[in-house]
Each structure stands twice: as C-alpha cells, then as structure tokens.
C-alpha cells in the first residue's frame, strides 16, 4: 500500500512538472464538435506563449487570439471581425505537451474540442 501511494505521488508530480514546463507556442490543429453532434470543424490556431500570456491567430482568416496558460490549464478567445458582439472562448487542459482537450463556448454555439500540436 505504501509503495502504491509513493508511486502515485511520484507520477502525479512528474505530470504536474511536465504541464508546468510546457510552452504551447506553435500551431495546433483543432477538431471541434458542437454539443448536438451535428457540426464538426477543424480550424488551426497558432500561439506565441510569452510566459503564460498567449497571442496568436485563429483559422484561415487569421483572427487575433489572446489567452493564457497556467500549469495545465489553457484558455484563449477571439471575436470574429464580422461579429464583434460574439466572443468565442476555448478552455481546456493540456493532457500532454502535444494535446489539449476542452470546451468551446460563444453566444451562439458550444461544444467540445481536442487540439493536437502540428
């Protein structure tokens, strides 16, 4: 029992250490599914991670993205230029250095996503 607890603690600390050190700069391929399962989209987002502050571009129209990453938690958002009244928010967890899983919400849509580093 003691060995199992020790192993759990060591693995947890190792996972936390990797997440805390991960820089998310780069290009990520998103696979988005709306909450009804009717829409699937596969946009790309590119980030520059400056000490936890994220800036970048979203999609083929290069909409400005801003966000943050803290430990294994990441969030970013943008306003489509043709709809400045809408904020599209992505919130997720870094499952590894190359994968993010989470939710997307806006005033008109919501769903889940997985992003993989390209």
| Per-residue confidence (pLDDT) for residue 1, from 0 to 100 | 54
Q: Which CATH architecture has domain 2-117?
A: Beta Barrel (2.40)
| Per-residue confidence (pLDDT) for residue 37, from 0 to 100 | 81
The number of beta carbons lying within 10 Å of the beta carbon of residue 19 is 19
Per-residue pLDDT tens over the stretch 28-37 = 999 999 998 8
pTM summary value: 0.81
Extract the residue ranges of the chain whose pLDDT is less than 50. 4-5, 7-19
| Per-residue confidence (pLDDT) for residue 12, from 0 to 100 | 46
Tell me the C-alpha to C-alpha distance, in Å, between residue 1 and each of 7, 9, 50, 110: 10, 12, 42, 43
């Amino acid at each position: 029992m003691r060995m199992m607890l020790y192993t759990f603690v060591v693995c947890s600390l190792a996972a936390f250490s990797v997440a805390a050190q991960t820089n998310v700069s780069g290009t990520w391929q998103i696979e988005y599914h709306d909450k009804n399962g009717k829409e699937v989209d596969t946009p790309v987002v590119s980030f520059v991670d400056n000490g936890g502050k994220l800036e970048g571009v979203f999609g083929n129209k290069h909409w400005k993205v801003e966000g943050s990453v803290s430990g294994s938690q990441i969030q970013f958002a943008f306003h489509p230029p043709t709809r400045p009244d809408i904020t599209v928010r992505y919130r997720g967890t870094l499952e590894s250095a190359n994968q993010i899983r989470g939710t997307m919400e806006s005033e008109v849509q919501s769903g889940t996503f997985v992003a993989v580093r390209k």
